[in-house]
Structure 1
Amino acid sequence: MIAFEIDSGDTAWVLASAALVLLMTPGLALFYGGMVRAKGVLNTMMMSFISMGTIGVIWVLYGYSLAFGNSVGGLGIIGNPLEFLGLKGLMAEDAVAGTVPALAFVAFQSAFAIITVALVSGAIADRAKFTAWTVFTIVWGTLVYFPAAHWVFAFSSEDGSVVGGWIANQIQALDFAGGTAIHINAGAAALALALVLGPRIGFGAKPMRPHNLTLVMLGAALLWFGWFGFNAGSAVAANASAALAWVNTLVATSAAMLSWLVVEKVRDGHPTSLGAASGIVAGLVGITPAAGSVGPLGAILIGILAGVACAYAVGLKYKLGYDDSLDVVGVHLVGGLVGTLMIGFVADPASSAGVAGLFYGGGLDQLWRQAVGAFAVLIYSFCVTWVIGKVIDMTIGFRVTPAEESSGIDLAEHAENGYILSSVGYGTYRGVQHTTVLEAGDLPPSASKADEKSNA
């Protein structure tokens, strides 16, 4: 007799969702890559891609066990690293997570771990050593992400045989898909690293505009597409909860994009493509923790608030003097806080979470739980990340030299350029006819000075 039951529909949905979430990291690479200057596009994209390599390996070795293993000492702080070391025991037919094979859940959560680490990189784009960043991904994943994931995502079993994390079980804060463990966590870490590395050369004195907004828009589109797996897949089943999360993800993101564009129109006079892309991400971040616990109207409200709050928050770096290159703090930390705290106001008891927020007669009970969970992760992530960053900086050095930063981090760190112009078929450049055969990557003499200036 088989004492367990695997649902093929649930399994198919979770595996498909895992692929969607994994696609988000290359999407993030495009989004971030388009936002930097041309001389840093490859390095910026590589910082996301290397996270797929390092976190993908250590997740299998010990990360999953730290995040989802039985809590050491029953304290809810960290999972037992030896319980699923190398994913031992999870290939057995009776190893299940709900109605899906345990390895399907492992796969799904691995993509979460990968993109969380990659998100942090946006704060230090254009100035971090690639080797130092690679070391950081391993250390930060081990000391910050895996414990936070255990706190938030590891639930205790009904019979008490499995003890999970303290935020999920003792505090009972709601986080459907990662507003605390992922976005607040990454945003707080981004702020800490931005402070450790200091601002880019010329920050606040000269414009550092995105070099390729088409890449930004493409990256935002892939993120939105993958986020349906991110949120709806977090139901870990093909059910009504997944359907609600899917609808909420659509409508909150739509509302956030619109509200960000309204802010731009009123404040700056023009709605921009960068604003649309940023509004999309702000809405996705805001609805992530609340996707399974609010109704569609609550999702619209969260989207509007996230779009407005993040649109204003991205400018704080100029007022406060920290150089968050690609607005990780302004979008992910602020958006994550908006979504997490708003659950305390608009949680709908008709949802599968069954919790009523303040606006539904639930009082302040859920709001304080959300606040404790959010700020515990924020403070822990900021403090530990600052220490990790400082240790790396004092040992192998975290920042490239001023000369390397000025000349271009792509060439200094990777010996490559993001854009190589071929001499084959080269006829005109900015309306000027040229007949000289050029080396790959060279610009016509009449255009080189102008381009060097624009790419600086």
Structure 2
Amino acid sequence: MDQGNTAFILICAALVLLMTPGLAFFYGGLVKAKSVISMMMLSFGALGLIGVLWVLYGYAIAFPSTAEGTIQAPWTIDWNELGLASLLEAGDGAYPPLAFVAFQATFAILTVALVSGAIADRAKFGSWMIFALLWATIVYFPVASWVFNFGLAEDGSFAYGGWITMGLQEWFGAGAIDFAGGTAVHINAGAAALALALVLGKRLGFQKGVHVPHNPPFVLLGAGLLWFGWFGFNAGSELAADGVAALAFVNTIAAPAAALLAWLVVEKFKDGKPTSVGAASGAVAGLVAITPACASVTPFFAIVLGLIAGAVCALAIELKYKWGFDDSLDVVGIHLVGGLIGTLYIGFFATDVGLFMGGGATQLLVQAIAAFAVMIYSFVLAYVIGFAIEKTIGFRVKNEDEVAGIDTVVHGEEGYVLEGARA
């Protein structure tokens, strides 16, 4: 066993887990003061629920144990063998499989939590938890298998894998590149967020300028925690402390930094003032875009990607006002659009295989197939699940509860109580 790689993966898993509380702060600062507890609880609820589901059956679905891709019954997983006995057979550079189980668990948790930003200020907590359970089971776990599941033959070559990687490789001669989750995480969550925004409808009084962030410092804190955890997200996806991880690490600095600047420039020209929320949002947009490409582009092209993502996402968040859907916290404008940009960008600028980097159009084609397949699959099933919940037990709170603030109605708490007075 390589203790260095093992420590690296476990530390990266802890970093990615921190991203979910970071997301709670990011989202919590963006909503109104009377629903900050509710917003943050959607993330923490996902943390608890998906953490349990991953051990019960999520890992078994996402990472089938046979080359034929047959899902392993959860009760047949020998956790002792994964964690302990495997150490006896591990060769140089190897790590205990349970380290990988832990690392991928944090991805599942974060992806589900991301979706919640589209339904801020108006969702029932219990209904959200039911949605999270169903969506994770029939959407995220299978999509994670499409993208992240692979197996190695004795000679070290790929023996089997998900259709987005190995399947497209067999059909087109090139598999889609998604190093850390542009499709499985960001496009997946962004498409589901759009579906839920349509199911729940607009917040009361929805129009530009009405719903403003109540706590920008929370937003900046959350963005900082997200950026910090994202180094584990991207570099950790190499599953080894090597040169590829170092490249992913540098690109995770360069792209979001460039996106932050690009967002502020667009904001200055569009609205007259660069804002702290814009800076935080720009950084997240750059992080989203570099996620699938972090090991496939040079730092220079990571900066170019960041500039494109920051500028385009800053404009994309305005679409909800033009098209009439209430994506409360811009999950669609940042994660869906940013994920699409980063995934397709690989087809143009990935080292050696991109259209402009000595490759042909094949890589761009398979990137597009992967991106739009995940987007359509996630949107359709998220809409069906959300619609079914809304029509049965109800997904949205009553109008009067939304006006009063859902923190006290749903959780019996308030975010701010100063000097014994009710906020």
Given the two structures, how large is their TM-score scaled by the length of structure 1? 0.87
Question: Following TM superposition, by how much is the alpha carbon of 1:442 offset from its aligned partner in structure 2, in angstroms?
Answer: 3.2
1:136 aligns with 2:131: yes
In structure 1, the residue matched to 2:367 is 370
In structure 1, the residue matched to 2:44 is 49
1:402 aligns with 2:399: yes
More helix by share: 2
Q: Decide which structure has the larger Cα Rg and report it.
A: 1
In structure 2, the residue matched to 1:232 is 235
- Provide closer, same or farther for how the CA distance between residues 71 and 138 of structure 1 changes in structure 2, counting only shifts above 3 A: farther
In structure 2, the residue matched to 1:260 is 263
Question: Following TM superposition, by how much is the alpha carbon of 1:79 offset from its aligned partner in structure 2, in angstroms?
Answer: 3.8
Report matched runs for 1:130-279 at 5 Å. Answer: 130-158=125-153, 163-171=160-168, 172-204=175-207, 207-279=210-282
Q: Could you tell me which runs of 5 or more consecutive residues in structure 1 were left unpaired when the two chains were aligned.
A: 1-5, 350-355, 423-439, 444-456
1:31 aligns with 2:26: yes
1:100 aligns with 2:95: yes
**What is the CA–CA distance in structure 1 between the aligned matches of 2:393 and 2:159, rounded to whole Å?**
41
**What is the CA–CA distance in structure 2 between the aligned matches of 1:63 and 1:141, rounded to whole Å?**
8
In structure 2, the residue matched to 1:340 is 343
Question: Following TM superposition, by how much is the alpha carbon of 1:83 offset from its aligned partner in structure 2, in angstroms?
Answer: 7.7
Q: 2:287 aligns with which of 277, 284, 288?
A: 284
The C-alpha deviation readout for 1:3-37, integer Å capped at 9, x for no partner, is xxx21111111000000000000000000000000
**What is the CA–CA distance in structure 2 between the aligned matches of 1:206 and 1:236, rounded to whole Å?**
44
- Provide closer, same or farther for how the CA distance between residues 291 and 267 of structure 1 changes in structure 2, counting only shifts above 3 A: same
The C-alpha deviation readout for 1:93-122, integer Å capped at 9, x for no partner, is 226697211010011111000000000000
SS of equivalent residue, structure 2 residue 86: coil
Given the two structures, how large is their TM-score scaled by the length of structure 2? 0.94
Contact 1:90 1:102 in 2 (8 A): yes
**What is the CA–CA distance in structure 1 between the aligned matches of 2:244 and 2:361, rounded to whole Å?**
24
The C-alpha deviation readout for 1:40-77, integer Å capped at 9, x for no partner, is 100000000011100000100110110011368x3x6x
1:442 aligns with 2:412: no
Question: Following TM superposition, by how much is the alpha carbon of 1:158 offset from its aligned partner in structure 2, in angstroms?
Answer: 2.9
Contact 1:18 1:107 in 2 (8 A): yes
SS of equivalent residue, structure 1 residue 156: strand
**What is the CA–CA distance in structure 1 between the aligned matches of 2:209 and 2:364, rounded to whole Å?**
42
Tell me the amino acid that sits aligned with residue 380 of structure 1.
Y
Higher RCO (C-alpha 8 Å, min separation 6): 2
SS of equivalent residue, structure 1 residue 12: helix
In structure 1, the residue matched to 2:10 is 15
User: In angstroms, what is the RMSD of aligned CA positions?
Assistant: 1.8
Tell me the amino acid that sits aligned with residue 217 of structure 2.
T
**What is the CA–CA distance in structure 1 between the aligned matches of 2:95 and 2:418, rounded to whole Å?**
49
Tell me the amino acid that sits aligned with residue 409 of structure 1.
I
**What is the CA–CA distance in structure 1 between the aligned matches of 2:319 and 2:206, rounded to whole Å?**
13
In structure 2, the residue matched to 1:391 is 388
In structure 2, the residue matched to 1:322 is 325
In structure 1, the residue matched to 2:72 is 80
**What is the CA–CA distance in structure 2 between the aligned matches of 1:191 and 1:206, rounded to whole Å?**
20
In structure 2, the residue matched to 1:449 is none
SS of equivalent residue, structure 2 residue 397: coil
Contact 2:260 2:281 in 1 (8 A): yes
**What is the CA–CA distance in structure 2 between the aligned matches of 1:304 and 1:161, rounded to whole Å?**
35
